[in-house]
Amino acid sequence: MTITRLLKKVVYAGYVEAPKWGVSVRKGQHDALISFETHQRIIDNIEGKKRAPAARKDYNVDFPLRGFVACKCCGNAMTGAWSKGCRKHYAYYRCETRGCDAKSKSVPRAKLEAGFEEIMQRMAPSRGLIEIAGMMFQDAWALKEQTMREERAAWKSQIKTIDSEIENTLDKIIEAENKSVIRAFEKRIEKLERQKIVLSEKVSGVLPDRHTKSECMELSLSFLSNPWKVYKNGGHAAKQTVLRLAFQEPLTYCPKEAYGTPKFSFPFKVLGEITRAKKEMVL
């Protein structure tokens, strides 16, 4: 309960309030530790409006593909573990789904991960395609900037609408005589004020500058040009990020047939289609 009370305090978002004395949420004179939007998401989570997915407890640096590679027979994620031999321990991936034909059929870690490396190595596009990707990135960035400007204009419009609604609700409070009705109007105003704060924070957000654009572009093209290098040299968290960015869905693996056809994420899918189109034109 103490932790819940602490998480609900708006003071950490740079605001203050004192409901007992009729002081609604307002900007404080201190620096915020988190944004008001983050504070509101915390409140929503506590009240059960939104639930974040539970963090996996089976992350293991020894088996980075555990939970990502699925058994081709049953579709469930394969697990990974060490098996004790006569003289040393051996690393294996296996399916543990009850009733699956491939249940407990161990696949040496080296074999499964070598096949994964081969898939990742094939994803690296040519230098010419990276240049095309760079131009596509420029276009996407310009579109994103335009979208952000339009969103900012929409947020400003929403703020005006909220101000108007607050003013109308205040007029209703003046006219109301029933205490329960007045309290309902006050709660409505408090909710609107919180929405307005979140929108105001979004409006005040700074649009990305050229330096940010160059940095993002460099990182993106570095990842696209050699995803395997990023995966190989990164920590466990980086590996998990690469898996989410490079593939549309988990890979499937069969002990007898090896990997199934991978479904790459949109950027790699587009680059792959361009490569195939070029090969067909040559033929």
Per-residue pLDDT tens digits for 205-263: 766 666 677 778 787 888 888 899 989 998 888 888 899 889 999 999 998 888 999 99
In the structure encoding, which two tokens stand for residue 252, read together?
Answer: 């499937």
**pLDDT score recorded for residue 211:** 65
The token duo for 55 is 């963090």
258-259 β-sheet, strand order: 70-71, 252-254, 258-259
Q: What is the pLDDT of residue 53?
A: 44
Give the model confidence (pLDDT) of 98-123 as tens digits: 999 888 889 999 999 999 999 999 88
Which comes out higher in pLDDT, residue 128 or 112? 112
* pLDDT surpassing 70 at residue 85: yes
pLDDT at residue 71 is higher than 50: yes
Is the model's pLDDT at 51 over the cut of 70?
Answer: no
**Mean pLDDT of all residues belonging to the chain:** 84
Higher-pLDDT residue of 276 and 218 is 218
pLDDT for residue 223:
85
Query: Between the CA of residue 253 and those of 17, 77, 153, 179, what are the distances in Å?
Result: 56, 10, 48, 65
Q: Comparing 277 with 216, which gets the higher pLDDT?
A: 216
pLDDT at 58 over 60: no
Q: Work out the pLDDT band at 59, boundaries 50, 70, 90.
A: low
Can you give the pLDDT at residue 11? 84
Structure tokens given for 3: 């932790």
276 — pLDDT class (breaks 50, 70, 90) = low
pTM, two decimals, is: 0.57
- Which range (118-127, 131-140, 146-155) has the least confidence? 131-140
Environment class of 141 (CB within 10 Å of its CB; exposed 0-12, middle 13-18, buried 19+): middle
| Residue of 52 and 35 predicted with greater confidence | 35
1-38 pLDDT, tens digit each? 777 777 788 888 888 888 777 777 888 888 888 888 88
Average pLDDT over every residue of 262-268: 87
Asked if residues 26 and 15 have their Cβ atoms less than 8 Å apart, the reply is yes
